[in-house]
A and B are shown apart, each in its own frame.
Chain A
């Protein structure tokens, strides 16, 4: 029996379309822009009909940008690689540190436990600019300015609290008796953590990892201050398109398309995995 009338269905369809247009149109427009030259982008009125060109992409990939004011070298591919490197390694380090810590916070009560957990979360409250000035001074002293290690370390401020708090919730949802049953069958605490707790919390760990990756990827201000051109990620590298001869909209659009591609692919892949994990790993009574 269908209780929804045609009118309801039409209204619902219309509203969904509205939401989709609102969210997807900018991306669609950027994809269009990435195949145009600055002239066709800037013409008035704008039109979706144009002669497509791959010049923006070839400029990004070869690293040679031709403008009216002369040729410019672009480090875009290097920036993209930096983004991949920084985000991946930061998330990996955060998972190695954060998952056992989340387990400890979920399972054991210890002195100052809640205070430590909250302090880690509070890193997310502070505006990055608040810590950047002292941090850049320390980094100069330590020789960490403009190094991958330094950036990955700072990125822990972004990734670690996220992973810690999300994964902790997942661990808390697993009945301790499942782990007890495994331990009493002759397995050590460490084996139980690896074979029972982590696999059961996997959907949560994946979700937290993905979220942390996106946050790390989108970070701008830490890398802007603490790294120079050869270590900068795409978010900072995109500034290079604001040139003396004007803003290179076509290249910016192409750069955006290239830089959202990895996160988008990762999100689509992980989404499938997340749904699978949630339905298989459902812990019942």
Chain B
């Protein structure tokens, strides 16, 4: 019984207009879809989750689950399960009782309940602490118990608030796979709140990137990386982050020239044919732009932009070279082992298809590769 969730023009203002935490937020989660709300601390993602759960009121807008407006209902009547960032286990109950507690309302036989608790404990690897009390197990175990308490229920929508923040990296990687499989198998519509993009990429079908209470982009992990909607998403998604330069564009009919500001006349020059006519027409009106390029698309070679190496590090499977142009650091990632001494000169080449062009005013994307947005 997976449900469809629709948020329409949701606003959240705390106090008397003091903090505008969520601004005109609209998005929809399809039945069975896993959506991640991704953003830095204070971006409004947890406020959004708590409004869906019913612990915060909406200042404006509506929330619908399967076409039924739920934003005026008490939490108990929304048919939503939630795992809390603070775990929030019931202290007088054991871990097993905490998990089975959520099943009480469903009037299952005790054998059925026991089996489901056992299966869930196995999935989350907390079988050995089932009979302990929350205060006597580790934070990671409490967090998994809290996650189990949410997942074991049958609900139309699952809300997971930083569900794996306290786990060790190895366990986290294993559990990500298992939880994704579990959510798929049970066709669970899920909203996951996280500030960890690796987790969002691994678990979510689509990611809603939020910043300053505003939804920046809502797209698949691949799309976010290839076609970021604006400069914020471009630099927020991806590790190491996208390199960005302010440039002046000049198109003389034969070549398109991006002069890098403050670099003493260095520029990226491409044949006009590398760009579509529509894009060139679009760029005619612009002079100042922001140019973004992913680190793996910056190639170290014999020609291109001249840069001074700051650090060079071979990580065993890839080389990270940080170099400097016009006071800005450019990171390049290569899968070959490259030896470049600090303070030596390197030449950086960038293919026209790897360019991301953003407006320097509002940061909105103009083109990805040679294609207009």
Which residues does A use to contact B, with CB under 8 Å?
Answer: 175-178, 180-189, 196, 199-200, 280-285
Contact = CB atoms under 8 A, between A and B. Distances in A.
B75 A183 contact: yes
Contacts of B86: 175, 177, 285
Interface in B22-75: 53-55, 74-75
7 contacts: A176-B55, A177-B85, A180-B75, A181-B90, A187-B105, A188-B74, A282-B135
Contacts of B55: 176, 180
A189 B74 contact: yes
Nearest to B85: A177
Closest 5 A-B residue pairs measured CB to CB?
Answer: A177-B88, A186-B105, A181-B88, A183-B75, A178-B88
Contacts, number: 68
Contacts of A184: 53-54, 75-76, 78, 80-82
Given A180-B53, A181-B82, A282-B135, A188 B88 contact: no
B308 interface: no
Contacts of A284: 91, 134-135
A177 B46 CA distance: 13
Contact of B84 (A177, A280, A281, A283): A177
Contact of B76 (A177, A187, A281, A283): A187
B139 A285 contact: yes
Given A180-B75, A184-B53, A187-B76, A280 B101 contact: no
A131 B102 CA distance: 52
Contacts of B88: 175, 177-178, 180-181
B90 A182 contact: yes
Contacts of A283: 91
Contact of A180 (B84, B102, B135): B84
A37 B153 CA distance: 73
B91 A200 contact: yes
A185 B139 contact: no
A193 to B, nearest CB: 13
Contacts of B80: 184
Nearest to B153: A185
A185 B53 contact: no
